[in-house]
Amino acid sequence: MTRRATGRGGEAGFTLLELLVMLVVLGLLLAGLSQGLRFGLLAWRTEAHVQAAHGELDALDRTLRHLVEALEPGTATTPSSLRGEPVRMSFTTTLPAAASALPTRLADVTLYLDSAHRLVLGWTPHRHALRVGVAPPPAEEVLLTGVAALRLAYAASSGGGWQDSWTSPYPPALIRLRLVFPAGDPRRWPDLVAAPRRDRVGE
């Protein structure tokens, strides 16, 4: 029978083998804790990135919906300013309330995707009078980066089919805006479908 060695006073001590086993177990526990902490940080960063992306898309959705719904429909003698193409559209609208510091919120805007795959809103203050001289270049606001494609469609009535262009003097009943992101991009954004204002002054 093997007996554990005792120190002074008869108190039992640890053998070398027991100390080695304890060190191995402690090392495994520390390794597991480190891996768990690393996984937790990675999950937190991923969730924060996804939430930030969703917040960015929610703000973009509200902005674009406002611009489309506030589209100027024209008057009895003036046609609508909307010129819709498959990947670009220009129209006169009222900018969001955040632009209240400007002299006027009524603006001529163009929504398009540039060569750097950025969704851009170009705008100039709307002028009722004819401009004398060269018009200043439009201001540009980058609404979103990393967009693979922009696809626009227009419907003459709420139950009608979609067209890829619009040149009518009247606004369409609905405008659909679709953003396509590159493969592997975690952002997901459902199509925006908004109804422009169609009541015209004098009609």
pLDDT in tens, 148-158: 999 999 998 76
For residue 134, give Cα distances in angstroms to 95, 130, 138: 24, 11, 12
Per-residue pLDDT, 49: 47
Euclidean distance between CA atoms 82 and 170, whole angstroms = 8
For residue range 18-30, list pLDDT tens digits in order.
778 888 888 777 7
Euclidean distance between CA atoms 47 and 15, whole angstroms = 48
- Mean confidence (pLDDT) of the chain: 78
Q: Is the pLDDT of residue 203 over 70?
A: no
With cut-offs at 50, 70 and 90, classify the pLDDT of residue 100. Answer: low
Per-residue pLDDT, 172: 92
Q: 203 or 52: whose pLDDT is higher?
A: 203
Euclidean distance between CA atoms 59 and 65, whole angstroms = 10
Q: Is the pLDDT of residue 189 over 70?
A: yes
Per-residue pLDDT, 48: 42
Side-chain half-sphere of 143: how many Cα atoms within 13 Å? 22
Comparing CA positions, the residue from 72, 46, 56, 48 lying closest to residue 179 is 56
Q: In one letter, which amino acid is 41?
A: L
Per-residue pLDDT, 98: 65
Per-residue pLDDT, 150: 96
Q: Is the pLDDT of residue 46 over 60?
A: no
Comparing CA positions, the residue from 133, 76, 143 lying closest to residue 111 is 143
- Domain spans, the chain: 52-129+137-194
3-state helix, strand, coil in the chain (%, to 5): 30, 25, 45
Q: 152 or 34: whose pLDDT is higher?
A: 152
| Continuous segment of H or E residues that includes residue 192 | strand 192-194
Q: In one letter, which amino acid is 35?
A: Q
pTM: 0.68
Euclidean distance between CA atoms 81 and 70, whole angstroms = 12
CB 74 within 8 A of CB 126: no
For residue 60, give Cα distances in angstroms to 23, 67, 134: 55, 11, 32
The sign one gets for the Cα dihedral 93, 96, 102, 103 is positive
Question: In the chain, what is the greatest distance between 2 CA atoms, to the nearest angstrom?
Answer: 112
Per-residue pLDDT, 180: 95
